[in-house]
Every structure is written in structure tokens, then in C-alpha cells.
Chains A and B, each alone.
Chain A
Amino acid sequence: MLFTIGPAGDTAMRLTFQEPPSPHLTHLLLQLQRTAQAHFLDALSDSVVGYTTLTLFFMPLRLQRDQVSAWLEKTARSLSDSKQVEATSNKEAVVLPVFYDPAVAPDLTSVADDLGMTVDALITVHSATLYFAYATGFAPGFCYLGTLDPRLKTQRLSTPRLRVPAGAVAIADQQTAVYPCESPGGWRIIGACPVTLFDITATPASTLAVGDSVRFEAIDEQTYCSLGGQL
């Protein structure tokens, strides 16, 4: 597999694979991340897996960038050539209940109209896919899930909303996600999930991690409310 290595600012190095995102690539990046953490220990200040990237942040007074890039070069090459990439998550797919209803999803009807399908068909398609968690970040507990059924591919809002409520289930391009907390956002909201996705007092704090599988399950209003959902 082809990759490049270069600086991300003055205290991080980024490895970028020259191929489209895939669960296999994500598992490889996760394995590289674990190997890097075990190798550099606390001389690494942080590390982040993105769709096709691994960014290693290093303590500049303890670790030289050349050491980081040499290690990345060697380890990425041997890992990507070997066939021994392990799936990290043996856990079963996380099932997230979603109340798909205009009462909590301001864009549900307009998205269905734009796509030329009924709301019921949209719900069926969105909840039939087994999604893969490609990346986390943006906000605490936010997880980028792919790949959306091509029939649901939509544009983002031209003007992002200043406030998207916590629990909003949204789609954009080929991705879907649940907003874990209230934040600004330009994705189109098609449902609401009553499950808390980020809790600072829990271990781990985030329900979803990179490499997880996720499925959405349609629920009715009563179930939504009984799970703590707000109308």
C-alpha cells in the first residue's frame, strides 16, 4: 500500500495512505496506533486515527521528529505488507434506537422529498445498513459512520444550524452520525436517538469507538420517551 509521511505542525507527524477508506484500512491504522503507543509510551502526547491517516503528536523535548517518521515508515510498511491486520473490536454491533419522526427531525420530510422516496422507505434504507465507525472526534463522542446507502446521498445544509440538539441523527454525503451533545452542525437531521453517547463519568466516556459496527433500529414515540428521549 502506498503512503506518505509528513509534518502536521511542529509537534506531530502524519501518515496518509493513498487509498480510499475501508474497514481494513481502519483496522490497520488502529493496529499502527496501538503499536506506536506501546513503542513510544508517554513520549507521545496523543495520537488520532482519521479516515486514511494516523497522526502522532510527540513531546518535542523528548522525541525527535526524525525518529517518529523513521519508525512510521518502517512499521507502516511491514504492517501493510503483512496479512496480519487484526480486527480490533470483537464486540457485536452497537444497536442505537432512533425515533424517525418530523417532531424531532426537522429535515426528515424534505430529505425524503429531495430523494424522491417516502419517509417510510428512507427509514427502511437508513436502518437496514450495518455502519462502520471510521473516525471519532469533532466533538466528544461524535463518530463518523459510513457508508451510507447511495440512495440516501444528500447535500449538507447551505447554512449550518447554530444549534443541533443532542441525540440528533443526521446524514451528509455518504456519512451518518448522532450528535452526542448540542453543537452547531450542517448535516440534515432525520431522527433522534435517546441514548447518551458521551458521559465523562463512564469508562470509556464514549459509547462508540473507531472500528465499531453500528446499526440503527426504528422505535416508536412511546419507546423513545421511555428511554429518556425529549420531544
Chain B
Amino acid sequence: MKTLTLAKAGIASTIQDGGRLGTLQAGIAPAGAMDPLALKAGQYCLGHRAGEAAIEIAYGNIRATSSHDCSLVVTGAPATVLIDNEPAPTQCIHTLRAGQTLTIGPPSEGVYSYLHVSGGFNTDLVFASRSTSPREGIGGLHGGYLRDQDVIPLSDGASVSDTYRADPGLCKIAQRAVLTLRYVPGYQYDELAPALIQRLNEDHFEVTAKANRMGVTLNGPLLQTGVESLLSEATCQGAIQIPPDGNPIVLMKDRQTMGGYPIPGAVIESDCARLAQARPGQRIRFAACTPQEADNIRWLEHHYVETRLR
């Protein structure tokens, strides 16, 4: 069996693909790559067409060896790549020979990098996805964060593959002093106090250290709703959830599937990935947009990605 052995697994590495569909009513979060564009870029670089999974690495720092020759690419947050301690150019496809050591250093910016290996990882599918949900203990290699000395099975197709015309540099890192998160107002928007909505739309917030795959907590003016809880309803990605303490939390891929806190709206998918790649301290502002504007942004991005990746 072809395998990749992790000598050093990093602080919060997980196997992720596009995530799950149809599991929300059962209480299972969709999971999936926090930066779907970076995942897709790597898949296209290696000619992966079946939604192959990658290792999502938070803040870099992993070391691995492969049992067989393979091609690999690192996408997402730009990190230094060393092969047998020799620096390799970033943002290109590398050949890793059997027994050679791959080292991925800390990224210079952003949070999540993605290690793709030709053929993809051959871990078990759970509800048709290889994504890891650590809270539920499902997916990935053993349901949790990858650990030092883990041995990950590679698919038989793993070999040195042809190069494809794709841009490995595509990802969602925002090099902006203030990152604007566009959001679609929900039905509670009109029920919340106008003064609160005004603060949400006009003031600046900051990403805190409480940022992970479940959600990103922001610091800023307190948004006191005076509402303890509402009838539980489905949460969606990007939902701006306001708990009683007034610090908004933007819900991400491993969110709890039901929630009862006030939610003025939800950040559009495109900007969720930008928020995922933002480090603590990043300044944030919110901008309400119509659903039609959100659709236009999606179509433009879809077109751009297809142009850059093919």
C-alpha cells in the first residue's frame, strides 16, 4: 500500500475535501476545506477530478515522507517547501521520491495551507466525504486531528503525474488593512435595533484568537441584542451569530448545525474563505449586500476561477 507518513503533523491538521451534503438534520456539520478555492487550485494542478482530499494545515510546520514517488503541490497560505532540506520553489508542482522528506514551514501570511498528493488520500468515505469532523469524531484518518507518526494511505493512482495548466497560487488571502465582509441580511435584520445594525455596518471589528474551523469570534463594539435565545433553527455558513455577551461569531465549516442566537445576516461564501485565512488582529468591516449582488459575485468568481484553472 502506498502511504504518506507524518513525522510531524502540525498543530491542527485535518484531511479535508469539499465537505458533506445532506447531513445537517442529523446534526453533522458539513466540514470541508476552509479555503475551497485553494483546495480546488491544488486539485486542478494534479489533475484531480473526483473531489480528492488534501491535508489542511493550520499555520504550517509539518514533515512527511512518502513510501512511493509522487507529485505534490502546496496551495493556500504560502509556506516554504523543503525537500530533503533543500528549498524548493513555492507555488509549483514538486516531485517527492520514495523516502525523501518533505518539510512545509510556517506560512508568511494567511492561516490554512493545503498539501495535495497525486492520486489523493485513500481514507474511508463517511457520508460520501473524506472530510474530518473532529467534534463528531468522523472522517479523515481516525476522526480527529492528524498526529505525529500517522500513516495516511494514498490511492493507488499516486505517482508522478503530468503537469496541468493551473495556478497553484489561487487562494483567499486578503492583503488589506481592513477586510470587508459582505453579508446577506436575514429576516432578523429588521427586528434588531437600528442602532445595533448601524454599529454592525459602520464600525470596525477585529479577528480574535478564538478563531477555528467552528467559527471566528470578533472583537469590537459590543452588539447587545437583549435577546438570550430564540427558537432553534438551522445555522448557515457565515451566519453572524450574536451571543448575549455581544461579541459576534461568524460561523464556519464545523459550526453547530442548529442555533438560537440572534443572527442579523450571513457572510457570503466567497468572503467566508477570506475570513478563514485572516489572522488574529485582522481588522474587519461588514457591508450588507442584496442576494442578487451575492449571486453576481459568485458568478464572476466562478468564471475567473475556471479561466485561471483550465
Contact = CB atoms under 8 A, between A and B. Distances in A.
Contact of B231 (A12, A21, A136, A138): A21
Interface in B149-197: 184-187
B25 A7 contact: no
Contacts, number: 131
Interface in B261-294: 265-269, 291, 294
A50 B234 contact: yes
Interface string A29-50: 0000000000000000111111
B295 A140 contact: no
A8 B26 contact: no
Given A9-B268, A48-B257, A60-B298, A139 B232 contact: no
Given A137-B25, A138-B258, A140-B27, A11 B236 contact: yes
Contacts of A135: 232, 258
Interface in B117-138: 126, 135-138
Contacts of B239: 8-9
A120 interface: no
B22 interface: yes
A205 B28 CA distance: 11
B265 to A, nearest CB: 8
B26 to A, nearest CB: 6
Given A8-B186, A8-B266, A137 B24 contact: yes
**Contact-residue size bin, chain B (C-beta under 8 Å from the other chain):** 35 or more
Interface stretch (A51-59, A71-79, A82-90, A92-100): A51-59
Contact of A6 (B27, B186, B231): B186
Contacts of A4: 187
B27 A142 contact: yes
B238 interface: yes
Given A48-B234, A55-B236, A140-B26, A200 B257 contact: no
A12 B238 CA distance: 12
Given A10-B184, A136-B25, A137-B258, A53 B233 contact: yes
Which of B126, B258, B298, B302: most chain A CB closer than 10 A? Answer: B258
A45 B25 CA distance: 12
Given A9-B236, A50-B258, A144-B232, A139 B25 contact: no
Interface string B206-226: 000000000000000000000
Nearest to A51: B231
A178 interface: no
B295 A52 contact: no
Given A60-B295, A137-B27, A10 B234 contact: no
Which of B24, B26, B256: most chain A CB closer than 10 A? Answer: B26
Nearest to A69: B291
28 contacts: A4-B187, A7-B186, A9-B184, A9-B238, A10-B291, A12-B234, A12-B236, A14-B234, A16-B233, A21-B231, A45-B21, A47-B24, A48-B25, A52-B231, A53-B234, A61-B302, A136-B27, A136-B258, A137-B27, A137-B234, A137-B257, A138-B257, A139-B27, A139-B256, A181-B136, A200-B126, A200-B138, A205-B26
Interface of B: 21-28, 30, 126, 135-138, 184-187, 231-234, 236-239, 256-258, 265-269, 291, 294-295, 298, 302
